[in-house]
């Protein structure tokens, strides 16, 4: 599992943008920026849609005021699901949606999880992290079934 002080691994994401689909490697997304990254087990799932993403939408201005250059959300979902979820949540222009369709990023950082017992297959654990120039500054990993330390509110106290 990745730890604070470690560089994010080189992985390619698919990102929905207003101009269409964009492919970007980790370095392109995180280099030279302070990024508030959060990961959810699945777009459109109850906690993710009702609490986790909305906390970052609600606190976006406060995060930016404390030095965050970008807010990014990742999930082991495909590009089309992430695009539809961003539209549904009204964050198309506020957050970078990092589709990790095959779970390459989740696996590379050791935060993948097997949700097969819920009919969801390989997913990401729920977490948030502050990433500075591609290096993990803070990692907030939730216990299974919890939603506390990965929230935007918790992250604000770390900046």
* DSSP conformation class of 116: G
Q: Is 28 helix (H, G, I), strand (E, B) or coil?
A: helix
* Lateral strand order in the sheet of 70-75: 20-25, 12-17, 96-99, 70-75, 34-40, 127-132, 135-141
Considering the candidates 15, 48, 71, 155, report the single residue annotated as catalytic: 48
48 is catalytic: yes
* DSSP conformation class of 52: I
CA distance 4 to 50: 28
Give every CB contact of residue 117 below 8 A, 6+ residues apart in sequence. none
Give every CB contact of residue 61 below 8 A, 6+ residues apart in sequence. none
Closest CA to 139 of 149, 129, 131: 129
User: Among all residues, which ones are annotated catalytic?
Assistant: 48
């Amino acid at each position: 599992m990745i730890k604070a002080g470690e560089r994010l691994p080189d992985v390619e994401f698919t990102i929905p943008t207003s101009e269409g689909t964009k492919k970007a490697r980790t370095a392109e997304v995180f280099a030279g920026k302070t990024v508030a990254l959060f990961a959810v087990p699945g777009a459109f799932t109850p906690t993710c849609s009702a609490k986790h993403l909305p906390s970052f939408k609600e606190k976006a201005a406060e995060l930016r005021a404390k030095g965050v250059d970008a807010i990014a959300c990742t999930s082991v979902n495909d590009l089309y699901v992430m695009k539809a979820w961003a539209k549904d949540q009204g964050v198309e222009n506020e957050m970078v949606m990092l589709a990790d369709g095959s779970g390459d990023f989740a696996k590379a950082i050791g935060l993948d999880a097997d949700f097969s017992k819920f009919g969801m297959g390989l997913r990401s654990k729920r977490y948030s992290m502050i990433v500075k120039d591609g290096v993990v500054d803070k990692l907030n990993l939730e216990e299974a079934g919890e939603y506390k330390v990965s929230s935007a509110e918790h992250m604000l106290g770390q900046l």
